[in-house]
Structure 1
């Protein structure tokens, strides 16, 4: 079964310094039917005003993937680690108990736009605290996976994340890694989605 949801159906927030669209329940937006999808807990698209920042806060043990769509961000933690990421890059933070994290739009005159995902992390796995990857803007790229296959970011969960770019009128075939999948359109829209079961030999 395929369930679709438009951007207009998502939760929204406008705090002046932050504009956000929430796919699942988050902050003030709550829908008991939308608490996440499998291990995917949060999927937000947010725009931070020039110079704006998220103050330090702690997180549950999750992997936080930030895909920078426009602008430049800086991330810091209470252990002294910091990293910058620009448009066209994906940044993975492996959060740790008791460690706080902050995010800052480095530009004084340009908004920062990014998509953020939270994935439940397996408590037994300890991955690098910070990983960064450049999106190649090719037709398809594996950007995160459990074992860091094909140069992808390494997750603490059995999840595979792909970035797919299609020109107008193009189509793509894609083999799923399991019985469930979630597809998010970042730019544009798609007209048709079809699932075909593989024949058993």
Structure 2
């Protein structure tokens, strides 16, 4: 089964310095039925004004994946680690107890646009504090995985995140390892079809879809498409 969650249904915020869209409950936006999905706790798309920043804050035990779509960000922690990430790159922060983290739009002229995911981290796993990668120019690649497969970012949870970049008319089928997955259109229109139900769900720019009990998903781009498929066996 594939159940859509349109961009219009998501929570939003506009604080001037920050514009945001929240898939799940976050900050002032609260829906008791949408507290996350399996180990996926947060899926936000946010735009920070030039020079704006998130002040230092602590996190629960999660992996924070930031995918920069426009501009450049700097992430710092209270232990002295920092990493700069520009458009076309992604960074993974393995948050630690009693450590605070901040985010800065390094440009005084250009907005910073990025996707941010929080994923529950297994308590017995430890990874490098920060990881970073440049996104390859290919229609599909593994962005993050539990074991760093194929050079992907390494998570502290059994989750596989696929990055899709399809031209109009292209399609791809991706196996799904467990009972749940989530598809997020970053931009572009897509038809998503499961292998079990054979139903097809149409998604527009910014829409997402909960995927239940499908062995694979076929993604067909109606327009140029950039998307994430988050495979959530746990």
Alignment TM-score > 0.5, same fold: yes
How far, CA to CA, are the matches of 2:188 and 2:151 in structure 1? 27
User: Which structure shows the higher strand fraction?
Assistant: 2
Summarize the alignment of residues 137-152 of structure 1 with structure 2, pairs less than 5 Å apart: 137-152=137-152
Deviations 1:91-128 (A, max 9, x none): 00000000000000000000000000000000100100
Q: Distance in 2 between matches of 1:192 and 1:98?
A: 41
Q: Which runs of 5+ in 2 are unaligned?
A: 197-213, 216-234
Determine if the alignment matches structure 1 residue 100 to structure 2 residue 83.
no
Shift of 1:194: 2.5
State the number of aligned residues: 198
TM-score using structure 1 length: 0.96
State the shift of 1:2 in Å.
1.1
Deviates more, 1:184-193 or 1:12-21: 184-193
Corresponding residue for residue 121 of structure 1: 121
The secondary structure found in structure 2 opposite 1:3 is strand
Equivalent position SS for 1:164: strand
Aligned equivalents of 1:155 and 1:127: distance in 2?
A: 8
1:110-189 superposed matches below 5 A? 110-189=110-189
Shift of 1:165: 1.1
Q: More displaced, 183-192 or 40-49?
A: 183-192
Query: Which residues of 2 match residues 54-93 of structure 1 at below 5 A?
Result: 54-93=54-93
Question: In the aligned structure 1, how far is the partner of 2:195 from the partner of 2:25?
Answer: 27
Alpha-carbon RMSD: 1.0
Deviations 1:101-160 (A, max 9, x none): 000000000000000000000010010000001111311110100000000000000000
User: Unaligned stretches of 5+ in structure 1?
Assistant: none
TM-score normalized by structure 2?
A: 0.83
Distance, in Å, in 1 between the alignment partners of 2:80 and 2:65 is 20
After TM superposition, the runs of 4+ consecutive aligned structure 1 residues lying more than 2 A away are 191-198
- Provide the residue aligned with 2:13 in structure 1: 13
Q: Distance in 1 between matches of 2:5 and 2:193?
A: 13
Partners of 1:195 and 1:24 lie apart in 2 by 26
CA drift at 1:195 = 2.5
Question: How far is 1:89 from its partner?
Answer: 0.5
What SS class does the counterpart of residue 147 from structure 1 fall into? coil
Pairwise CA distance, 1:188: 0.7
